[in-house]
Amino acid sequence: MAACCVLRLNNSFLLRTTSSAAIGRRMMSSSTSSANNPAGPTLLQRIQALDKSSLAPSYTALVLFHPSPSSQYAVVGHVQNSLMKSTLINCKNDQGEPIFVLEEKRSNQLGTVKDILRLNVDVQYERSNTNDDDAYEPAELFQRRTESFAQVTKKVISRQHSDIYPVYPFVERMDPLYDDNVILAHVNRSTAPYLGIDSVGVHLNCYARQNNVIQGVWLAKRASTKSHHPNYWDTTVAGGQPHNLSLYDNIVKESHEEAGVPSEWLRNDASNKAFSDHTHDPLTITTAKEDGSCMKRSFYYSFDLQVPDEWQPTPVDGEVQEFKLYSIEELDRELRFGQSLRPAMRAVLLDFMIRHGLFKEVEGEDYF
């Protein structure tokens, strides 16, 4: 049987296996649980539970002015209705002007009528240039939007992050990094989730191999001071993707800062067989907090590194409490039954296991 799959989310879970004929088949819910945990959810159900796209009706699209051959506007995020009505609509900049404008009952290309949330600077810019097709100045509008988002961070969000995220238009394809020329604004990392801006993360899986068999994977326990999921376990290295670094440059930086991985081990050329780059095929999941806030598309880009048996990762920057080498058996049990992993890491680590042929089906569980 072909090595079974993990998931892709683009309105639904899709099947990815080593058999190309199976790509695109929908994963169906399992009606049984593993004999080791008869009362609990199956692995498939645990992965499906990561998908929070069912929250969409309680969100309003955040739309920016972005003239293109197909439309005048681009959706860049989604804002929870309760947050929009209680806070964002009333948020004003230093000049006392509203930062956001709610436009009710706008029709989209499909003829569907929806409320949309817009930046006031976009509305003003569009009105002042209604009759001049050549007046669109992306750089000028980029700066105004970035300033508006900075005002939101200043007035609404209690803390600022050192990272700045790019704001891209939503597109049909799953990868938001498709074209650097269409970055419409910058936003503080702390603010981005509340606006439903795409979240991009990079991950390094460090694994140990003996006699050509993978024996274990190093996991990192998040610091107790982390604002999200403190004390949960992550991939060896996990970091957000700032606007000013490539995916590769970011994983090199994060690997050194979080785990003391020598940069030469991550040399990205054909002669370095220990390192592999899988960023051409990111996982995509619609995530949200447990209270239903901060729904967004989350993109997970992975790299794998075989490390020497005697090497151990070392916490450097305080983001990690400790590291532990999980055996494949321990990791399998954790994925199926445990509560120690940061929830989204179940998908990222299951993807790793499938990629290396380590995932084994359990009798009584359905995967297709």
Q: Are 342 and 220 within 8 A, CB to CB?
A: no
Tell me the pLDDT tens digit for each residue of 206-246.
Answer: 999 999 999 999 999 999 998 889 999 999 999 999 999 99
The span from the CA of 317 to the CA of 258, in Å, is: 6
CA distances, 329 to each of 94, 236, 366 (Å): 56, 17, 20
Tell me the pLDDT tens digit for each residue of 72-131.
Answer: 888 999 999 999 999 999 999 999 999 999 998 766 655 566 899 999 999 999 888 766
- Residue 101, token pair as written in the block: 């404008």
The span from the CA of 305 to the CA of 302, in Å, is: 10
Mean of the per-residue pLDDT values of the chain: 84
The DSSP 8-state label assigned to residue 177 in this structure reads: T
CA distances, 208 to each of 212, 258, 260 (Å): 10, 18, 16
The span from the CA of 69 to the CA of 67, in Å, is: 7
pTM for the whole structure = 0.85
Single-letter amino acid, residue 99: I
* Nearest to 153, CA basis, from 190, 128, 186, 120: 190
Q: Which residues of the chain have pLDDT under 70?
A: 1-39, 69-70, 106-113, 130-136, 172-181, 363-368
For tokens 């002015």, the residue is 65
